[in-house]
Chains A and B, each alone.
Chain A
Amino acid sequence: MFRRLPDPAGRIPFDFEGEPFEARAGDSVAAALLANRVLTFRTTPVSGAPRGPWCLIGNCHECLVEIDGEPNRQACMVEVRAGMRVRRQRGARVVPD
């Protein structure tokens, strides 16, 4: 559904839901996941409905994922780094005591 512009930038390996994925240098986590045909980034805390990126500029909070163990990160606002571990944000995060 998304096709990359021809671009010689380097490949960056990262991990999504335990699977190896590839991004391009400079990708946001959201761009990298979309380019890998991932559409469901999270499920909502209220109804459990599946959601994915909408605004891609940090406003809508639809693209929340867990990054390296940290919940509710906005995938569109974080640049992919090599070895990053990304998971779907499933429902509400828990508050540590």
Chain B
Amino acid sequence: MCRREYDVVVIGAGLVGAAVAYGLARAGQRVALLDEDDATYRASRGNFGLVWVQGKGVGRPEYALWSRASSERWFALADALSEDCGLSPSYLRPGGVSVALSEDELGDLDAKLAGLRHAAGTAAYDYEILDSARVRELLPACGPEVAGGAYTPYDGHANPLKLMCGLHASLVARGADYVTGARVEDIRPLPGGGLEVHSRRGRIAGGKLVIAAGHGSKALAAQVGLDVPVYPEHGQILVTERTGSWLGFPTLGVRQTDEGSLLLGGSQAERGFDASAHARTSRDIALRALRTFPCLGSLRIVRTWGALRVMTPDGFPIYDRSRTHPGAFVFTCHSGVTLAANHAFEASRWVVDDRIPEEMACFAADRFDVPQAA
């Protein structure tokens, strides 16, 4: 590809980059979305598909509100994608349940949600602590070990592969250029404004630049003077054969897809850049799922995979704008499904406006700069 002019060049076509690029294309911007090859780490193709709010934002109420706002905006995102490309990401928001397998776990849920409600202040925070009888009203398949749970109405789920496919198809339908095999190596400011990236598919210039390259963001952000300390957190997912619908609410560890499969997940491990699936992890995931819903024992597991979350040290997103390279932004988060609607409709606007709003300043990358002790 030869050199071309764009309003915005977005690096990384995972859920974060694709959502922002889609929002930019909707706003009438000329967009190039660049992605690497199929062999790269892609959290967006290995995730659990929850649009999850419950329990998020401890110590950072802005994140609780941000997640909740996205779960509201998700209805508009699902409609917009269906209209633009005809593929619905199957968003449902029945509310979500965290299941407690002991009184201790139940107490922890209670304390956490009470804290979040307190921190939310006037924004309120709706939740219900479920005793042993009430959890069985919502989830009749609970096994005898289930002590209770917590319900919040903000949670839902979607089909993450349809979301990815729908974002890519919709942004192309709205005139954006989606270029694969375009690993970006270098970012250079252009005299007179704008930036140019050097990719395997040639040089591409844009007025602005969004770095949303998942695990590739650390190296790219360093080139625009930002320290983005993301690291890989391993997660694993087991998928069962499809069944008729029997699980009315998504839970943190088990959900039933719109097409009938059960997804079992919820593992977290640090293994560096190793995305393989581990038998012990599968065992732990399956055991907890079985203790929660014993009927799962009659189902065959048909797929298992590992994938790497793009994690930050405090677990909150990074939204930042370069001070050394005007017009360059870095966006990353570990819940790219949940936040997809915010990224499409809000974060894209920050790029157009060339400023990140004051209330999002707490997500700047310099919060990780620890002053060196003397």
Contact = CB atoms under 8 A, between A and B. Distances in A.
A96 B298 contact: yes
B298 A92 contact: no
Given A46-B260, A61-B302, A95 B246 contact: yes
A95 B259 contact: no
B241 A72 contact: yes
A76 to B, nearest CB: 14
6 nearest CB pairs, A to B = A92-B244, A72-B241, A45-B260, A95-B243, A45-B242, A92-B260
Count class of interface residues, chain A: 10 to 19
Interface string A74-97: 000000000000000001111111
B295 A93 contact: no
B299 interface: yes
B244 A94 contact: yes
B69 interface: no
B298 A46 contact: no
Contacts of A94: 243-244
A43 B300 CA distance: 19
Nearest to B242: A45
A94 B298 CA distance: 10
Given A72-B300, A97-B141, A92 B243 contact: yes
A88 B141 CA distance: 27
Contacts of A95: 141, 243-244, 246, 295, 298-299
Contacts of A97: 141, 295
Contact of B259 (A45, A72, A96): A45
Contacts of B242: 45, 72, 92-93
Given A46-B259, A46-B260, A93 B244 contact: yes
